Amino acid sequence: MNEKHLGSVKQYVNDMVGLERDITNAIKLQTADDRVSEFPELQAILSQVEKASEARLDMLKSLSDAEDGGLGAAFKEGITAVTGTLAGIYGKMREHPVSRMVRDDIIALDVASVGYGMLYTLGLSTGHEACAALAIRGVEETPPLIIALTDLIPVVVAKELADDAPLVNPAAVQVARTRIRAAWSKH
């Protein structure tokens, strides 16, 4: 592999290390949050997110070490902006309702999904089989988690609203879930 391509692999892998580290740390904080315990299905999904993210993070670190990637290397400006934003969001999560936490998790996983798609393309394009194998795992693991969290949004929002006052439309959760699922299944 030429030196420029190897540099790109190192940079992309290090970008994903930073992103997965932010996701893992945030999910750990969320699963320890008492408010999340009110949603057993959410706890189960967050546990899956945490385990998958930690496993990918370990693999990314191993790949980076194998390529002498220098985990302390500067991340790309775009990813740094995203992970910095995520860190800021998660740092203030105790101030936000659970529904906003879930929204932010979906955003973070979507960023990871895009990042893994980029890393997969890079691995394939440069013939870096280990990189491609790791990246396709992220490509395949993130969408089902995004969909599962998206499916829970109506439940979480409605519970938060019902805690404040009775719902005007108790059927809203089922209607919203059905329409959201239908929208996702069209694609």
Q: 83-107, pLDDT tens digit by residue?
A: 555 555 555 555 679 999 999 999 9
Span 8-65, pLDDT tens digits: 888 899 999 999 999 999 999 999 999 999 999 999 999 999 999 999 999 999 998 8
Nearest alpha-carbon partner for 41 in 156, 157, 142: 156
Q: How far is CA 182 from the centre of its chain?
A: 23
Burial of 177 (0-12, 13-18, 19+ CB in 10 A): middle
Please report, for the chain, the start and end positions of each structural domain, with discontinuous segments joined by +. Answer: 3-142
Instruction: Report pLDDT for 94.
Output: 55
φ/ψ region of 169 (left if φ > 0, alpha if ψ in -120 to 50, else beta) reads beta
CA dist 18 and 62 (Å) reads: 14
Residue at 110: amino acid letter = D
Mean pLDDT of the chain: 87
CATH of segment(s) 3-142: 1.20.1260
